[in-house]
């Protein structure tokens, strides 16, 4: 198995204020996504039961769980300094 090596070079220096804003914004979005995550877990269980009994996916439940996953991914990229684009407080459903 071959390994992959990635090198990222940033020309811009991050100010302390920007890092403070990034941490504060991540805490706010993380709290909101944590609350939404409870409902996403319930929706995932309901979707599983729907698939089990009907053999088809429920589009609304699937979209809700997918939007939650996208929101968490955007937050993780922002927290790990991989992107400068701030994630929205509430994911766009």
Tens-digit pLDDT profile for the chain (93 aa)? Answer: 678 887 767 667 767 888 888 889 999 999 999 999 999 999 999 999 999 999 999 999 999 999 999 999 999 988 887 778 888 888 877
- Cα distance between residue 6 and residue 41, in whole Å: 34
Q: Is residue 61 part of a domain?
A: yes
Mark 7-41 as b/e (b = at least 16 C-beta within 10 Å).
Answer: eeeeeeeeeeeeeeebeebbeebbebbeebeeebe
Which pLDDT belongs to residue 17? 87
Q: Is residue 3 part of a domain?
A: no
Q: Is residue 49 part of a domain?
A: yes
**Residue 62 domain boundaries:** 36-93
SS3 49: helix
Q: Is residue 24 part of a domain?
A: no
Q: Is residue 10 part of a domain?
A: no
- pTM of the entire structure? 0.77
Q: Is residue 18 part of a domain?
A: no
The answer to whether 61 touches 43, Cβ cutoff 8 Å, is yes
Q: Is residue 73 part of a domain?
A: yes
Q: Is residue 2 part of a domain?
A: no
Which pLDDT belongs to residue 19? 84
Which pLDDT belongs to residue 82? 79
Tally of structural domains, the chain: 1
Which pLDDT belongs to residue 46? 96
Tell how far CA 11 is from the center of its chain.
27
């Amino acid at each position: 198995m071959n390994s992959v090596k990635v090198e990222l070079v940033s020309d811009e220096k991050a100010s302390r204020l920007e890092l403070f804003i990034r941490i504060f914004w991540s805490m706010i979005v993380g709290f909101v996504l944590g609350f939404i995550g409870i409902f996403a877990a319930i929706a995932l269980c309901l979707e599983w039961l729907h698939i089990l009994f009907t053999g088809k996916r429920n589009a609304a439940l699937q979209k809700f769980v997918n939007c939650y996953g996208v929101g968490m991914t955007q937050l993780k990229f922002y927290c790990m300094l991989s992107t400068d684009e701030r994630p929205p407080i509430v994911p766009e459903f």
